[in-house]
Chain A
Amino acid sequence: DADVTQTPRNRITKTGKRIMLECSQTKGHDRMYWYRQDPGLGLRLIYYSFDVKDINKGEISDGYSVSRQAQAKFSLSLESAIPNQTALYFCATSDSRTSGGITDTQYFGPGTRLTVL
């Protein structure tokens, strides 16, 4: 079974609709992240959470909100979707504890392809 799962994997919606993307992890990591990826622009950070009570805005948080329901779950909401939010969305997790000399390596879920018409 995958360590980081995202649902749905694909979604087509209309402008103005509310959308929620969900992320779950079984890695036991304390930190979780939401990114979007657009062609030619790389991965850009939307929100991140270092624990259940800690939520932080990333580079492009406008138009998005998040909820960390438990250590293993982090959801991303688009309150009123618009076409320029069409993108590939990735959830990632990391462990703040050092392992093998490396801290906070991020591991990504399979992605959600969102299309807003």
Chain B
Amino acid sequence: GQNIDQPTEMTATEGAIVQINCTYQTSGFNGLFWYQQHAGEAPTFLSYNVLDGLEEKGRFSSFLSRSKGYSYLLLKELQMKDSASYLCAVRRGSARQLTFGSGTQLTVLP
């Protein structure tokens, strides 16, 4: 199956930490991507995980557990500009197509 599940909406306060979870069916797994998308704009690449563990990039980190079919995106020191939709995308098999989740709309409040 192709199901990718992530929460529809989350709200957090400026300066705080937020964790956005993503679960997926593990068959044919070949990598997981996180994208950020501001309203009406193109998705932009944030992070990539293919092995278990944590990848850190400045204020953003992404974690993967392949056996559990689970990933999260961790955003630290939240800023107002982090208000956006965060898309989890799974790549499967040799065809390397991406299947996207519906996205998590994050609102950062002052």
Contacts and interface: CB of A to CB of B under 8 A. Distances in A.
Interface of A: 40-45, 48, 58, 88, 90, 94, 96, 102-111, 113
Interface of B: 8, 31, 33, 40-45, 48, 87, 89, 91, 96-103
A104 B31 CA distance: 10
Contact of B97 (A45, A88, A107, A110): A45
Contact of A90 (B43, B48, B97, B103): B43
18 contacts: A40-B102, A42-B101, A43-B87, A44-B100, A45-B99, A48-B97, A58-B97, A88-B40, A90-B42, A90-B43, A102-B48, A105-B45, A105-B48, A106-B45, A107-B45, A108-B44, A111-B41, A113-B40
Query: DSSP class of B's interface residues: helix, strand, loop or mixed?
Result: strand
Contacts of B99: 45
Nearest to A108: B42
A41 B42 CA distance: 16
A104 B91 contact: yes
A4 B1 CA distance: 31
B96 A104 contact: yes
**A-B pairs with lowest CB-CB distance, top 3:** A108-B42, A42-B102, A43-B100
Given A44-B100, A108-B44, A111-B40, 13 more contacts: A42-B102, A42-B103, A43-B89, A43-B100, A88-B40, A102-B31, A102-B48, A104-B96, A106-B45, A108-B42, A109-B42, A110-B42, A113-B40
A72 to B, nearest CB: 18
A31 B31 CA distance: 17
A12 B70 CA distance: 40
